[in-house]
């Protein structure tokens, strides 16, 4: 590698969650077999689906959702992590590389640094181009240090089971992980915990590494809370916790109309590293 032309860069496409999961799996298998090189694929979703991480039990979501036409659908992806609310406001990116690529890395955690830093720079660039980013607010967008992610994870895991705070570990954007992009929402508390803006997950198989990356343009915390197997009496409390912990592009002055420029900026930053 070394040139952008070495990558297969697929155009943005929309589909149902089931269709997008199948497309990701097919492309990942093709890269693993050596049928194509490193690949970037942008996509969005029709409808509303809660997509579980490969290791999550189905019991974290309500069992009666299948009979409620107004509720989100339920699906499961091949990569790890927790549940994602995939709706029309969610922008997703697959970065698929052969295991021989230097971007595959050998340290699972450190491997996230490359895509995380690329997204941080890209978002800052688009915000600057839109006139939303003043010099003094640049530091509000950052990648999550490993130590901070561990503190956040420990806070959640020491919370009593069934509490709203504990439920946020079931939602991908509810907790911080190393090298994800975070946003310091509260300017009056610069030392406070930032909210997650860009989520990262990965899967490693023989011959291939898949990074799945996503960002919300808006986020409906109540839809997510109602999809979880939460006692109805506590749905609003869980939604409130998720609302407090999950960021979205709308907070940064960006909308779906900015997706094309954001996608271009992310590609530039990712491939610049080659």
Q: What is the DSSP string of 72-115?
A: PEEEE-SS-S-BEEESTTEEEEEEEEETTSTTT-SSTTGGGHHH
User: What's the structural domain count of the chain?
Assistant: 1
Residue-level pLDDT at 189:
73
Summarised one tens digit per residue, pLDDT across range 148-206 is 999 999 999 999 988 999 999 999 999 999 999 999 988 777 667 899 999 999 999 99
Residue-level pLDDT at 249:
95
**Rounded distance between C-alpha atoms, residue 74 and residue 17, angstroms:** 9
Q: Give the three-class secondary structure for 150.
A: helix
Which domain covers residue 102, as residue numbers? 4-272
- 106, 50, 102, 92: which is closest to 223 by C-alpha? 50
Decide if 143 contacts 76 (C-beta within 8 A): no
Residue-level pLDDT at 1:
38
pTM over 0.85, yes/no: yes
72-81, 159-168, 193-202, 234-243: segment of lowest average pLDDT? 72-81
Q: Which residue has the higher pLDDT, 228 or 272?
A: 228
Summarised one tens digit per residue, pLDDT across range 90-142 is 999 999 999 999 999 889 999 999 999 999 999 999 988 877 655 434 678 99
Q: Which contiguous run of DSSP H or E holds residue 242?
A: helix 235-245
Q: Give the three-class secondary structure for 159.
A: coil
- 103, 143, 108: which is closest to 273 by C-alpha? 103
Across the chain, what does the average pLDDT equal? 89
Say which CATH number the domain at 60 has: 3.30.930.10
Residue-level pLDDT at 136:
39
**Residue 263 confidence class, pLDDT cut points 50, 70, 90:** very high
Name residues whose C-beta falls within 8 Å of residue 183's C-beta, 6 or more positions apart in sequence.
Answer: 140, 141, 194, 195, 196, 197, 247, 251, 252
Residue-level pLDDT at 214:
97
- 122, 176, 190: which is closest to 144 by C-alpha? 176
Residue-level pLDDT at 133:
59
Decide if 95 contacts 1 (C-beta within 8 A): no
Summarised one tens digit per residue, pLDDT across range 1-25 is 344 458 999 999 999 999 999 999 9
Decide if 76 contacts 55 (C-beta within 8 A): no
Residue-level pLDDT at 24:
96
């Amino acid at each position: 590698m070394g040139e952008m032309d070495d990558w297969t860069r697929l155009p943005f496409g929309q589909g149902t969650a089931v269709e997008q999961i199948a497309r990701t799996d097919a492309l990942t298998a093709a890269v693993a077999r050596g049928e194509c090189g490193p690949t970037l694929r942008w996509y969005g979703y029709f409808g509303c689906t809660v997509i579980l991480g490969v290791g999550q039990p189905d019991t974290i979501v309500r069992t009666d959702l299948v009979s409620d036409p107004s509720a989100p659908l339920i699906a499961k992806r091949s990569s790890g992590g927790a549940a994602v609310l995939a709706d029309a406001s969610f922008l997703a990116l697959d970065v698929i590389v052969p295991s021989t690529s230097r971007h595959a890395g050998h340290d699972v955690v450190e491997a996230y640094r490359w895509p995380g830093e690329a997204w941080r720079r890209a978002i800052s660039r688009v915000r600057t181009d839109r006139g939303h980013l003043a010099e003094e607010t640049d530091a509000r967008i950052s990648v999550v240090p490993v130590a901070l992610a561990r503190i956040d994870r420990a806070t959640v895991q020491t919370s009593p089971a069934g509490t709203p705070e504990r439920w946020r570990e079931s939602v991908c954007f509810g907790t911080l992980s190393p090298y994800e992009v975070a946003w310091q929402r509260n300017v009056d508390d610069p030392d406070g915990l930032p909210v997650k803006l860009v989520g990262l997950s990965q899967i490693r198989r023989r011959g291939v590494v898949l990074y799945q990356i996503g960002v919300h343009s808006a986020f409906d915390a109540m839809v997510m809370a109602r999809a979880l197997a939460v006692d109805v009496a506590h749905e609003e409390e869980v939604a409130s916790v998720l609302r407090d912990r999950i960021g979205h592009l709308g907070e940064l002055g960006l909308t779906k109309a900015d997706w094309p420029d954001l996608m271009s900026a992310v590609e530039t930053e990712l491939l610049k590293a080659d």
